[in-house]
Amino acid sequence: MIYDISFTDNQHSRELPLDIASETSIRVVDSHTGGEPTRVVIAGGPDLGSGSMGERLQIMRNNYDHLRSAIVNEPRGSDVLVGALLCHPVAPDSAAGVIFFNNVGYLGMCGHGSIGLAVTLLHLGRLSLGSHRLETPAGEITFTLHDRNQVSVGNVESYRHLKNLTVDVPGIGPITGDVAWGGNWFFLVSEHNQSLAIANVTTLTDYTWAIRGALEAAGVRGRGGEIVDHIELFGPPSDPATADSKNFVLCPGRAYDRSPCGTGTSAKLACLMEDGRVKAGETWRQESITGSIFEAIAETTDTGVLPLITGSAFIIGESTLLVDPADPLRYGLPG
Ligand code: PYC
């Protein structure tokens, strides 16, 4: 059941010109999902019209990118923060629409962010427990609120695009992986010589950043020509009794995902299922570099898999961001 969801669009337009109002006061709720933060903008965001989430993303990118930076970048945020702009949905039976963004740009979909958004809407009393539809730039997804923290996200169709692709990475050598879609584009690497330990994140960041650069230099792209901007390394779990695999995920702005990455886990599951290593309906437990775990199952379609990702989020703050026109750093440090 949908309660009185009020959306970010036009929150202050009755009293003040939108630009002034939206740059003055932005209400946000912060949560973390397995350690990865989500900042949901619940009021004071820009008016992006009534088109699809993909169309609104383009308007935000073209006209309001300074607000993205103001909301997630330092000094109000940090490189690791993912923003989620709550929007009016197009379809009346959707609970909401959302545009996800980070320190350098926008995300088609975000698994941990959808879990964070769901828990935020429940926390605000705007949604009840149960299943709801959510419109994202990558397509419509569903989420089910099991309780105040645990959420299952029915992600967009996920699939492998390229198998066993080898790129020559300067300073590292040949690296082989798969290019797969899970709502974002991933290069998934299981064969590497890295230790997936939290103490090693600086080295892991440099290593995966080098792989990303090599993919770009080699012209490796997603199916529609999109940049492959998430790099995912896999290794053994800390404890095989609780997880099947541990990952390290490099995000587009060089931050690493503290959660197991919902879209990355979806991409992984698509590859595992195509290889027959996980069957439809079997659970895959993906551990993150910080030790948090998502559980994933999927059913197959003609062209990929439909993953269901389960994780938990916790509310960690509610605040009003103030953007003072006199502040030379009002739009944040550039990402
Ligand atoms: O959970 O899908 C995800 C995600 C993408 C980037 C950061 N988290």
Q: What is the pLDDT of residues 189-231, one digit of tens each?
A: 999 999 999 999 999 999 999 999 999 999 999 999 999 999 9
| pLDDT value of position 12 | 38
Q: What is the predicted pLDDT for the residue at 289?
A: 98
pTM (two decimals): 0.94
Instruction: Count the neighbouring beta carbons within 10 Å of the beta carbon of residue 199.
Output: 8
Residues with CB under 6 A from ligand 1: 36, 82, 107, 110-112, 184, 251, 257, 259, 261-263
Confidence (pLDDT) at 24: 76
User: What's the pLDDT score for residue 196?
Assistant: 98
Q: Which of 87, 110, 251, 271 is catalytic?
A: 110
The pLDDT score that the predictor gives to residue 112 is: 98
The pLDDT, as a whole number, for residue 4 is 43
Ligand 1 atom showing the smallest separation from residue 251 Cα: 6
Helices (H), 1-107: 18-22, 53-63, 65-72
Instruction: Note if 271 is an active site residue.
Output: no
pLDDT for 8 equals 59
**Has 87 been annotated as catalytic?**
no
Helix residue spans in the chain (DSSP H): 18-22, 53-63, 65-72, 111-123, 201-217, 262-274
Pair type for strands 25-33 and 82-87: unpaired
pLDDT for res 22: 43
Report, as ranges of residue numbers, the positions in the chain whose pLDDT lies below 50.
1-4, 9-23
Q: Relative to the CA of 112, which ligand 1 atom is closest?
A: 1
Under 8 Å between Cβ of 247 and 236 = no
Residue whose CA is closest, atom 5 of ligand 1? 110
